């Protein structure tokens, strides 16, 4: 069912429509052409893809949900684990008229993309996995960081936590390009709409996700995209995905961190356009 467009929603300026699927999931559509499903990260919403949508909507039909528990889908009940988030996508795509589509998952959205491709392989013709992982607690340090994230979301508001982790920065010699002040403020506002208790459940779901035992079952062309300076999802996660998925290739973006979608928008867009323009298998 169509949903009235909010006047304050940024950046997508043409052929934008907003919908609510029969299972309650909120999603946006833009453009016409081969369908592409865009899956956002934890503590974000589909709005995070607006800079990319601006560049792709003239060639593709973009389907951009707010995943369960996030943004304008945050009032939907649990579960907020990865299988639960992925289970919503089949009905949404059917109602959007997309029988099969390419799926781009960013950060935690990449985990959801993997799960969906595993559960519903007939619905996915291509995977693009950006700044993401097969298991986000693969090392002892990552296990501790996951527990700290859950603790912080217990004692802090989402906005307070986001202000700690999203900050503008200037690149040093040979270092990563960071967010500028405008980008940091925009991303902080975008992420702060999410409630801390639901993000706490999402963080627990992130820690429980582990696709390593079935990555070899993914028989779809896959592109893995990473940044040379991604400290949120370090390089070993990129290497694991490229090595384990049978038809995977990898591209590393120089001087880019976990926010490369916004700091390297043109380069990221060119990579995505090139991959989506490949013939279907």
Lowest mean pLDDT among 70-74, 153-157, 173-177: 173-177
Dihedral angle, C-alpha 240, 206, 43, 217, nearest 10 °: 50
Q: How far from 62 is each of 67, 161, 162, 263, CA to CA, in Å?
A: 15, 30, 27, 21
Is residue 5 pLDDT above 80, yes or no? no
Neighbours of 122 (CB within 10 A): 8
pLDDT at 172: 63
pLDDT at 144: 98
Which residues, 6+ apart, have CB-to-CB distance to 193 below 8 Å?
45, 71, 74, 158
pLDDT at 175: 72
Grade residue 171 by pLDDT with cuts at 50, 70 and 90.
low
Cβ pair 12, 63 in contact under 8 A:
no
* Domains in the chain, CATH or no CATH each: 2-276 (3.40.50.1820)
Cβ pair 148, 204 in contact under 8 A:
no
Strand pairing class (26-30; 61-65): antiparallel
DSSP track, 43-77: T--GGGGHHHHHHHTTTSEEEEE--TTSGGGTTSP
What's the predicted TM-score (pTM) here? 0.94
Is residue 270 pLDDT above 90, yes or no? yes
């Amino acid at each position: 069912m169509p949903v009235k467009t909010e006047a304050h929603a940024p950046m997508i300026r043409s052929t934008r429509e907003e919908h609510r699927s029969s299972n309650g999931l909120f999603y946006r559509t833009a453009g016409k052409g081969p369908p592409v499903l865009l899956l956002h990260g934890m503590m974000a919403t589909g709005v995070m893809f607006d800079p990319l949508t601006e560049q792709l909507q003239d060639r593709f039909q973009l389907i951009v949900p707010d995943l369960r528990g996030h943004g304008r889908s945050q009032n939907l009940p649990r579960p907020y684990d990865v299988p639960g988030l992925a289970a919503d996508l089949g009905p949404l795509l059917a109602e959007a008229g997309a029988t099969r589509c390419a799926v781009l998952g960013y950060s935690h959205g990449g985990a959801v993309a993997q799960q969906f491709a595993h559960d519903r392989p007939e619905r996915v013709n291509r995977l693009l996995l950006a700044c993401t992982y097969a298991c986000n607690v693969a090392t002892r340090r990552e296990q501790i960081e996951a527990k700290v994230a859950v603790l912080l979301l217990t004692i802090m508001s989402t906005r307070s936590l986001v202000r700690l982790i999203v900050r503008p920065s200037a690149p040093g010699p040979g270092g990563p390009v960071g967010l500028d002040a405008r980008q940091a403020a925009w991303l902080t506002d975008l992420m702060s709409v999410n409630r801390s208790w639901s993000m706490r459940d999402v963080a627990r779901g992130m820690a429980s996700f582990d696709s390593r035992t079935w990555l070899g079952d993914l028989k779809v062309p896959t592109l893995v995209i990473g940044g040379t300076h991604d400290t949120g999802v370090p390089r070993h996660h990129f290497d694991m995905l490229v090595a384990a998925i049978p038809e995977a290739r990898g591209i590393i973006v120089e001087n880019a961190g976990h926010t490369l979608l916004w700091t390297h928008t043109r380069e990221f867009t060119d990579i995505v356009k090139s991959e989506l323009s490949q013939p279907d298998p």
